[in-house]
Structure formats: C-alpha cells, structure tokens
C-alpha cells in the first residue's frame, strides 16, 4: 500500500490548540499554491496510489473554482481508478452543496469533518468558528448528495469541560449514520495560543482522572453503538477504518506534498519546507522542490518506528510481519519487556499478534519507551 497526502495550509482562523502548519490572511497565495502543488505531484505521476488524503489547514476553505482546479489537477495526474479511499478534511460552515458535488464528481469518497465538540461554550473556548448546527447541515448536505463514508473528529480532555458535557457530544454523534469517529485527547502543544494561555495561568489542565474517565467512556459508549475500536484514538463501523491512516500505522510508504508535509518513501524520511513563498517560487519558477530535511532510515530507525506506530493499533503488531521485515523473532527478542507488562495485564500475545490491552493503553508511552530502549 502507498498513500498520498496533500497539505492545504489555509484557514479562516487559527484554532487555539492547533500546531499544524496553517496560515490565515494569505488567500492571495491560494491559486499559486495550488499550481505549485500540482507541479510537485507531477514528480510522482509514475506512482499508483491506494489512498489520497487532503488535509490542512482547511481544504474546504477553498472556493468552488479553486477546489475544482485542485481536484481536476489531481485526477489528471493520478489514476483514480486505483484509489481505494479519497478523503478530504472539512470544517463545518465551509461546506456547500456546490463544493460537495465537485468533490463527488472528482472521486472523493470519504469526508472527515472537524466537529471537536457539540457544546457551543467549548467550541468558543477552543477557538472554533462554527456551531453544532453548522455540523448538522454539513452532514445532511453530504449524505443527501450520497457520501456514505464520513468521519467526525472530536476532542476530549478540554479544560473547563466535564464528563457529562462530553457525553452529550458522543450521544449526538451516534444519532448520525457516521462510519468513523476520531476522538483525540487534547495536548497542549508548544507555540499554540492554548499553550500561551496555560503558561499565563488563564486555565489549568483537566484532571488526569477525568481524562481517563472520558477515554474509557468513549470506548464503552461507541462500542455499545456498533463501533470497533481499532486504534487508540479511532473507531469505525461497517468495516470502514481509515485506510490512509492505516498506511501510517502499518509502516507502509506514503508521499506528502505541500508545505511542511512529510513522506516516508523508499526508506527515506522527507520533510518539505514550511515557507509558502519559497515553496511556490521553487516549483513555479525553478521547477524544483526544496526539502527541509531528508533522512535515510537505518535498520534501527525502522524497527523503532514500526513498533511505535504498530502498537497504536488495538490489534497491535503481527509477529510474522515483523519477522518478514527484520528477520527477528519479536517475542524472543523482547521477551523481558513482554513478560514485564504481560504479567500485569498490560500486554497480551494472541493469535500471532502482540498488542497493548485496554488497561495498558493508558500507559502506552511508558510501554513504547521500554520497547525502544531494548530494541537491540
């Protein structure tokens, strides 16, 4: 499997928790940026992609004409008949019938809509500019047009929120025929407005025990409503996991295009530059791409990364696949680490796979650190 990620870094406003590369008040660069994106994509026209994911930023912030130019360009370069899953990230309030029809016409078959919370006070607190009504309209528009594979993103662990408020978001979501829900624990990232507010003492982090209760309730409630918990933060039903994200978690190749995008391609970690103007100029004037960094992964790098992404999956790591990639027996090599956590019910080995149990997921970072420190 090989995936294609396309980064659209433009937004109407910056959410307080967001540390992704995104820009506001740069609309005048959108057309040139799309031209540059397609020039970069053309460098990979020989590849047959299994998945495409357009993320951001806010891809649905593009106007109708810009969206059509982007999608038409992608369809002229990529063989969409081979693409199993074609996702676009969208924000409520930016989706219209016209945009959704353009997406559908050019082969988009999955939408990822950023709700974050159904509570208006919470949305205001985290800097979102939409309402739950906007989310409902977006879902209704999409389903009326014929989109059947729709994800909603939500966040838990938000300061000033409690479990009862969070439950309402989950309860409202399952009333819709969604195929996927991503529930992320809020992290205070450096260089975000939230982090600066926290440092100034404008709020305190939500109690860790409440965050654990939110995680456990998410799992219980969504599984009770027909969702499968398949990755620490992701749930699907009707057998519709996010195939693109599984490429990351299965340690397969993917190509990222656009500013600050990352690739893992032919055993290289590649990072694009972040500067919009330099990115556009390099491709449109100089017909080349400038990389911020290229790293040839070592054998040890690959083992470390495989474990780190693989154990995020609820089904964990295939012992057979690990051996086929690295010629190492996982169980015998990591016997001490496995036994350390297995006796406490935090790790299990079953049906040819090793995985972290639900209790262990709360200690995932500690467990991963132990595996990485003992990789050789």
Shared fold status for 2-248 and 305-373: no
Task: Please tell me the distance from the alpha carbon of residue 296 to that of residue 130, in angstroms, as a whole number.
Answer: 42
Q: What is the DSSP string of 267-308?
A: TEEEEE---HHHHHHHHHTSS---EEEEEE--HHHHHHHHHH
CATH code, residues 2-248:
3.20.20.70
Per-residue model confidence as pLDDT tens for the chain (376 residues): 999 999 999 999 989 898 888 989 889 999 999 999 999 999 999 999 999 999 999 999 999 999 999 999 999 999 999 999 999 999 999 999 999 999 999 999 999 999 999 999 999 999 999 999 999 999 999 999 999 999 999 999 999 899 999 999 999 999 999 999 999 999 989 889 988 988 898 888 999 999 999 999 999 999 999 999 999 999 999 999 999 999 999 999 999 999 999 999 999 999 999 999 999 999 999 889 999 999 999 999 999 999 999 999 999 999 999 999 999 999 999 999 999 999 999 999 999 999 999 999 989 999 999 998 876 5
Task: Please tell me the distance from the alpha carbon of residue 163 to that of residue 150, in angstroms, as a whole number.
Answer: 25
The alpha carbon of residue 230 and the mean position of all alpha carbons in its chain are separated, in whole angstroms, by 14
Number of residues that make up the chain: 376
The CA-based angle 38-24-62, given to 5 degrees, is 45
Pick the CATH number of 305-373 from 3.30.310, 2.60.40, 1.10.3470, 1.10.10: 1.10.10
**Report field, pTM of the whole predicted structure over 0.75:** yes
Instruction: Give the start-to-end residue ranges of the domains of the chain.
Output: 2-248, 305-373
CA-based max dimension of the chain: 61
Task: Please tell me the distance from the alpha carbon of residue 248 to that of residue 256, in angstroms, as a whole number.
Answer: 12
């Amino acid at each position: 499997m090989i995936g294609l990620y396309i980064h659209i870094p433009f937004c109407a406003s910056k959410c307080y928790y967001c540390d992704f590369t995104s820009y506001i008040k740069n609309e005048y660069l959108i057309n040139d940026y799309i031209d540059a994106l397609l020039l970069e994509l053309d460098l990979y026209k020989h590849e047959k992609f299994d998945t495409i994911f357009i993320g951001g930023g806010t891809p649905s912030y593009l106007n109708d004409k810009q969206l059509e130019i982007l999608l038409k360009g992608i369809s002229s370069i990529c063989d969409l008949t081979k693409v199993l899953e074609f996702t676009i990230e969208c924000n409520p309030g930016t989706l219209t019938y016209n945009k959704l029809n353009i997406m559908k016409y050019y082969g988009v078959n999955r939408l990822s809509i950023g709700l974050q919370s159904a509570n208006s006070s919470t949305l205001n607190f985290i800097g979102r500019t939409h309402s739950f009504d906007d989310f409902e309209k977006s879902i209704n528009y999409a389903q009326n047009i014929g989109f059947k594979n729709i994800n909603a993103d939500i966040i838990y662990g938000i300061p000033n929120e409690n479990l009862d408020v969070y439950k309402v978001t989950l309860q409202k979501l399952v009333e819709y025929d969604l195929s996927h829900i991503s529930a992320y624990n809020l992290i205070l990232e450096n260089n975000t407005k939230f982090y600066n507010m926290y440092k100034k003492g404008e709020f305190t982090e939500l109690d860790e025990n409440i965050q654990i209760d939110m995680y456990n309730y998410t799992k219980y409630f969504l599984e009770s409503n027909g969702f499968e918990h398949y990755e620490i933060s992701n749930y699907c039903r009707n057998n519709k996991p996010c195939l693109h994200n599984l490429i990351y978690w299965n340690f397969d190749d993917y190509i990222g295009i656009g500013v600050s995008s990352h690739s893992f391609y032919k055993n290289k970690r590649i990072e694009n530059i972040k500067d919009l103007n330099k990115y556009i100029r390099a491709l449109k004037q100089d017909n080349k791409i400038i990389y911020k960094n290229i790293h040839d992964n070592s054998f040890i790098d690959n083992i470390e990364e495989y474990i780190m992404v693989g154990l995020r999956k609820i089904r964990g790591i295939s012992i057979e696949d690990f051996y086929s990639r690295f010629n190492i027996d996982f169980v015998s090599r990591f016997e001490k680490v496995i036994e350390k956590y297995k006796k406490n019910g935090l790790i299990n080995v079953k049906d040819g796979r090793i995985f972290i149990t639900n209790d262990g997921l709360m200690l995932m970072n500690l467990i991963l650190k132990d595996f990485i420190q003992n990789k050789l």
